[in-house]
Amino acid sequence: MTTNAVYISGFGALTALGSQLTQHAQLHQQGISGVSPHPQLPWRQGLVTEPNLKQWIPDKKACRMLTRQGLLGIASATLAIEHAGLTAADFSQDDHQTGVIFGAFYSQGVCNAAQPYLNCYRDGSLDYHAFGEQHYRDFPPLWILPRLPNTTGGQISIQYGLRGLSYSVVNGFSGGMIAVGEAYSAIKQGRGYRYVAGASEMDPTLEQLFALDYNGLLANEQSNNAGLEIGEAGVSFIVEASNQTLSRTSNSHQPLIEILAYHNSYIPNVLSLNPRVRQQMIQAHLQACLSKAGVSASDLSAAQLTLAGIKALDQSEVAAALNTLGERALLLSATDYCGFTLGASAATNLFYACLQLSQGYWAPVLNIKDKPQSQQANYNQQGLSHQGEQILLCHHQDHQGNQVSLLLKSTFHNNTPATGVTP
C-alpha cells in the first residue's frame, strides 16, 4: 500500500434507490430500479423519496433558505462524513486542511423566477419600466442566494466549519466526478489533505423537460423513444491523503478505495460528430486514463460506463470500450437504476462504482437488450460477488461533450476482506 496514496474514504448518497448504503447495495445487486413513470407526464423519472432530509442538516435553521439541491447536497455530505468515521474533533483540528470542491447544479430553471415577470407582462411583451419600478420587489427576499452555483458547497463549508481550499466545479453533468478528481489532484499537490467532494440535483422544472424532449434527448414513453430518463440525487465523497485515512481505519476489514488516476476531456459538438471520430476521441480518453496509472486493460476487473440512453453516445462509448479494453472486459452501468441525475449524474455513476468496490459485488446491467452490441459486449447480467483487490475504470460522458474518468482500486489492510452483499 503506497504511503502517498489518495483514498475515497467515505461516500454517501440519496438517490431513487434510497439513502443508506445497505439499502443501495441490496437493491443494486438485485437489479431493482428506482425509476418509475411520471404520474402526469409521458416520461420516467427517479426521485429521492426520503421524506426527512433535515435529519442530516446540522444547522436546521439554514433549511429555510435552501433549495432542494442544497438539502440533498448537505445531507449526502453528512452521510459521507459518517461513513468515513470523521468526527467534529477531526474537523476542528484540521479545519484549514479540509476543503470542499462541489459540482454546481444544472436544473434550476426560469420557472423559479417566473412570477415577477408575469406580473409585468402586458399585451404580448414585458413592461420593463414597470419591472424596474415595482415588480422586481416580487422576488422573495434573498431569492438569488440559494440559487447561486456555489451555495451547496459553501453551505457544507459553513455547516462543518471547514476553512480549507473550497470552490465549485461548473461543468454541468460531469461536475461531481470532476470535483473528486480535482480533490485528488489538490492532495497530490499538497494543497490540503482532505476534501468533501460531490454534486446534487433536484427534479428539473417543466420547461427543462420540454427543452430536452424538443431536442430529442428525453425518453418518451408514449412514442417509446430512447433517451435520458431523468432523476435527482445528492452524492458526496470524502477524499483523503493516506496518512489521514489509515490513522482511523487500521483495524477495518472493509476495503479502502484508492484513486489511481484521474482524467477529463471535452468533445466539441459531440452529438453532430462523425461517429468514428467520436469513438476515437473516447478511446483516446480511456487510454490516457489507463496510461496515467501505468495500468493495462488486462489489469482491470471491470469498467463502469455511462450508457445514459442517448443511442449515438452509447454506441460510441461501448465501441470505444471494446476497442480499448477488449471484448472480455466486464461492463457495468448504473444509470438505469436511478435515472440520469443531471448535474449529479457523474457523481451518481461514481457512487455506485465505489459501492460495488466497497461491498464486494458487481450489479447486473439492466435492459441489456437495448444496449449497444448486446451480443458482443460482456455486460454483467447478474449480481456477482467478488473478493480481494479490484481495479475499476469509471467513465462518464454526456451530451454536452464532457467526459471524465477515474481509475479506482480497492485495497485491504489485512488478509480478511469483507464478503459481498447477499441479495
- Strand (E) positions, 70-156? 98-103, 121-122, 125-126
The pLDDT of residue 112 is 62
Q: Is residue 422 part of a domain?
A: no
Q: Is 395 helix (H, G, I), strand (E, B) or coil?
A: strand
Which residues form the domain of 312? Answer: 256-411
Answer for the pair 28, 337: CB distance below 8 angstroms, yes or no. yes
My answer on whether 91 and 212 are in the same domain is yes
My answer on whether 382 and 296 are in the same domain is yes
Whole-structure pTM over 0.95, yes or no? no
Q: Considering 195, 223, 249, which residue would you say is the last residue of a domain?
A: 249
> From the CB of residue 170, how many other CB atoms can be counted at a distance below 10 Å?
14
CA distances from 21 to 83, 277, 311 (A): 9, 39, 31
Distance, CA of 119 to CA of 3 (rounded, Å) = 62
The pLDDT of residue 111 is 62
Beta-ladder partners of 121: 126
Answer for the pair 4, 258: CB distance below 8 angstroms, yes or no. no
Answer for the pair 414, 1: CB distance below 8 angstroms, yes or no. no
Element (H, E) at 211: helix 206-214
My answer on whether 265 and 233 are in the same domain is no
Residue that has been written with the C-alpha cell 437488450 in this structure: 369
- Strand (E) positions, 221-269? 230-231, 233-241, 256-266
Contacts of 256 (CB under 8 A, 6+ apart): 7, 9, 245, 249, 410, 411, 412, 413
pLDDT digits (tens), the chain, 423 positions: 446 899 999 999 999 999 999 999 999 999 999 999 988 888 899 999 999 999 999 999 988 888 899 999 999 999 999 999 998 888 877 778 999 999 988 876 556 677 888 899 888 888 999 989 998 888 876 777 777 888 899 999 999 999 999 999 998 899 999 999 999 999 999 999 999 999 999 988 787 888 889 889 999 877 677 899 999 999 999 999 998 888 887 666 678 999 999 999 999 999 999 999 999 999 999 999 999 999 999 999 999 999 999 999 999 999 999 999 999 999 999 999 999 999 999 999 999 999 999 999 999 999 999 999 999 999 999 999 999 999 999 999 999 999 999 999 999 865 444 444 433
Q: How many domains does one find in the chain?
A: 2
Q: Is 199 helix (H, G, I), strand (E, B) or coil?
A: strand
Residue that has been written with the C-alpha cell 468526527 in this structure: 87
Distance, CA of 199 to CA of 177 (rounded, Å) = 8
Q: Is residue 273 part of a domain?
A: yes
Cell digits of residue 387: 473478493
The pLDDT of residue 312 is 95
What is the CATH classification number for the domain harbouring 393? 3.40.47.10
Q: Considering 181, 216, 249, which residue would you say is the last residue of a domain?
A: 249
Distance, CA of 51 to CA of 411 (rounded, Å) = 36
Distance, CA of 332 to CA of 386 (rounded, Å) = 14
Answer for the pair 73, 199: CB distance below 8 angstroms, yes or no. yes
Q: Is residue 119 part of a domain?
A: no
